[in-house]
Structure 1
């Protein structure tokens, strides 16, 4: 439910202003021909970040990736990167490219890179 509320906020506040530059939960895989990411419907081996900022109308030209996290434990609230699973996820998103490092968005700390 927390992700649904966060996505609704992105749609209401960001997509309204930049509809051609933001994708919610796009699914990417690598393209052997281009060497870059492409949109896919394939679940196995694909990556699905929560929010992607990209070139106008070009979701494969990634600029920045954001992933929502709602940590429950005291340690994960103070360090959202404490989880090895989160670290793996951010590393896989970094492989998609972009102009900035993938970031986590938490209620406690905001945007964390």
Structure 2
């Protein structure tokens, strides 16, 4: 069942899945993954020290590899975009269910549980919110790869990297191989201000973006619609947020957030 954003009444089953304890607290327990932090400060994120992004590089490369093949430009009509959006909503629901149910049963983690310090996949200390977010992102992106290979083969990329120049308003796509070389030589400054959406639909050329999607996985309260993250003070994009930068860089009217149970939002 898909909940409508703004609904006050919630079906009993959904309440069981998403109930959270206590009043709303500061946003640290809402961070959906360590990778999300990389998007606001890529030069200092954990991946720079050798940690993989949420989706293994082999899968990210596979999803983009078809883009390097000369292919006919694909029109993204409203019907196909709706199919893609619904498929990604299903992936978000699947990720939430597969990660939360085995760990917490039919309840959501509490804010305190979300704030707890735990060991991440690379042995680093992170919050439980970030750990759960990483796991949900991994499931969602693998699901997205499977579904989009059916709906839009060679016309999508998962976690692609783009550089956006504020002065020239120019956007440059970096291939996974280019990003790997930059990281290997430690030239992290070259990735400053990079944008890494979860899912990009394109014509077959990742530089020709047609639609942008980000998964959002709040830890405790999934009944509250997610918001685009503000960039912190000192960041290249300080004073703006993810959604605004996606609109500028990719020339899309409405980049889409995908959240479990609530579905697509803007």
Fold similarity call, TM over 0.5 = yes
Q: Is 1:80 aligned to residue 80 of structure 2?
A: no
Q: Is 1:51 aligned to residue 193 of structure 2?
A: no
Gaps (5+ residues) in structure 2?
A: 1-134, 180-189, 232-239
Q: TM-score, normalised by structure 1?
A: 0.80
- Match of 2:261? 108
Q: Which has the higher strand share?
A: 1
Secondary structure of the 2:207 match is strand
Q: How far apart, in 2, do the equivalents of 1:47 and 1:69 lie?
A: 16
The 5 A counterparts of 1:56-67 are 57-67=204-214
**Do 2:160 and 2:196's aligned partners in 1 also have CA atoms closer than 8 Å?**
yes
Deviations 1:42-72 (A, max 9, x none): 42111000000111x2111111100000012
Highest RCO, 1 vs 2 (Cα 8 Å, sep ≥ 6): 2
Q: How far apart, in 2, do the equivalents of 1:20 and 1:81 lie?
A: 30
Q: Is 1:3 aligned to residue 108 of structure 2?
A: no
Q: Which has the higher helix share?
A: 2
**Do 2:229 and 2:242's aligned partners in 1 also have CA atoms closer than 8 Å?**
no
Provide the aligned C-alpha RMSD in A.
2.4
Secondary structure of the 1:8 match is helix
**Do 2:212 and 2:256's aligned partners in 1 also have CA atoms closer than 8 Å?**
yes
Gaps (5+ residues) in structure 1?
A: none
Instruction: Give the deviation of 1:97 after TM superposition.
Output: 2.4
Selected match of 1:26 from 160, 182, 186: 160
**Do 1:31 and 1:37's aligned partners in 2 also have CA atoms closer than 8 Å?**
yes
Whichever of the two has the greater Rg, that structure is 2
